[in-house]
């Protein structure tokens, strides 16, 4: 499958992308994971974007498009991909449209995960993430705790709160979402690709709604 996952911070894009990837071998491509990996590794890109990410600002469109133009041409994308956190602005969506046309790739859907703000705030303050940048497994102290508190089930690394999970950064990320990312819902509706899913319930229900729509397409 070739999907875009849209939704506010904490809507469940990463969680749903990982579960969908297990279903048919499509690859999850999370720009957030790629950028956090660069920060942890201390690369030139990482140094350039660290403070932007910590405060909850978006990374410049040109940097993101450079990364994604290369990433989408890697061999593991041939089976399908789940774009998690990308595109994030109208210029990114326009650039992605041009890139996919150039590569001869057709998207199946842009799935908008809809969740009320109170649920999002609760999910973000209770989320925990594996600190190993090659893993970045997602947990939640309420809905999906790791088996041993503070330790990743998959790789054994410490499970932590992200740098952008302070109250101030969360509030800024939500505001940035409303201003810059929510307009993508209208963009993909016009493209005839939008599927809006109520993502307040358990992940299994969200997956079933996406699966049913894909099967009917
Ligand atoms: P990114 O990593 O993409 O963060 P985000 O969009 O803010 O999204 P999150 O990762 O916070 O949430 P999510 O929707 O994946 O939810 P999750 O599955 O974890 O981006 C971080 C930063 O990188 C940005 O601020 C920006 O600086 C930069 N960046 C990234 N991409 C960029 C781009 N394209 N352009 C420019 N800058 C970019 O779930 C949240 C919690 O809820 C978890 O604990 C989970 O266990 C729980 N949960 C999930 N689903 C359910 C459910 N159904 N029921 C109960 N609990 C659930």
Give the pLDDT of residue 216.
83
C-alpha–C-alpha distance, residues 111 and 167, integer Å = 27
If pLDDT is split at 50, 70 and 90, which confidence band does 186 have?
very high
Give the pLDDT of residue 217.
76
Best of 4, 7, 10, 176 for a ligand 1 pocket test (most atoms within 8 Å of beta carbon):
10
The pTM of this model reads: 0.95
Give the pLDDT of residue 145.
97
Whether the per-residue pLDDT at 195 is higher than 90: the answer is: yes
Whether the per-residue pLDDT at 88 is higher than 80: the answer is: yes
Q: Would you call 126 exposed, middle or buried from its count of C-beta atoms within 10 A (0-12, 13-18, 19+)?
A: middle
Ligand 1 site, CB within 6 A:
7, 9-15, 31-32, 35, 52-53, 56-59, 64, 85-86, 88, 92, 123, 127, 138-140, 143-144, 164, 173, 199, 202-203, 206
Q: What is the mean pLDDT of residues 93-121?
A: 97
Give the pLDDT of residue 46.
96
All domains of the chain in start order, with CATH = 2-115+180-216 (3.40.50.300)
Q: Tell me the average pLDDT of the chain.
A: 95
3-state secondary structure the chain: CEEEEECCCCCCHHHHHHHHHHHHCCEEEEHHHHHHHHHHHCCHHHHHHHHHHHHCCCCCHHHHHHHHHHHCCCHHHHHCEEEECCCCCHHHHHHHHHHHHHHCCCCCEEEEEECCHHHHHHHHHHEEEECCCCCCCEEECCCECCCECCECCCCCCEEECCCCCCHHHHHHHHHHHHHHHCHHHHHHHHCCCEEEEECCCCHHHHHHHHHHHHHHC
If pLDDT is split at 50, 70 and 90, which confidence band does 9 have?
very high
Q: What is the mean pLDDT of residues 34-40?
A: 96
Catalytic residue positions, numbered: 13, 88, 127, 162, 173
């Amino acid at each position: 499958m070739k999907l875009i996952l849209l939704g506010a911070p904490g809507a469940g894009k990463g969680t749903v992308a990982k579960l969908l990837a297990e279903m048919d071998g499509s690859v999850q491509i999370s720009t957030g994971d790629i950028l956090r990996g660069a920060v942890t590794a201390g690369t030139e890109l990482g140094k350039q974007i660290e403070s932007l990410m910590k405060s909850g600002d978006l990374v410049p469109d040109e940097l993101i498009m450079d990364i994604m133009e290369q990433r989408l041409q890697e061999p593991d994308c041939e089976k399908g991909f789940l774009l998690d956190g990308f595109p994030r602005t109208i210029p990114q969506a326009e650039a992605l449209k041009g890139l996919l046309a150039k590569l001869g790739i057709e998207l199946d859907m842009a799935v908008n995960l809809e969740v009320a703000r109170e649920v999002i705030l609760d999910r973000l303050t209770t989320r925990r993430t594996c600190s190993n940048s090659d893993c970045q497994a997602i947990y939640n102290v309420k809905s999906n705790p790791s088996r041993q508190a503070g330790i990743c089930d998959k790789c054994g690394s410490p499970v932590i709160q992200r740098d952008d999970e302070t109250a101030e950064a969360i509030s800024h990320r939500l505001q940035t979402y409303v201003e810059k990312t929510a307009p993508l819902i209208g963009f993909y509706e016009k493209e005839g690709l939008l599927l809006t899913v109520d993502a307040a319930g358990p992940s299994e229900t969200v997956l079933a709604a996406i699966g049913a729509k894909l099967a009917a397409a």
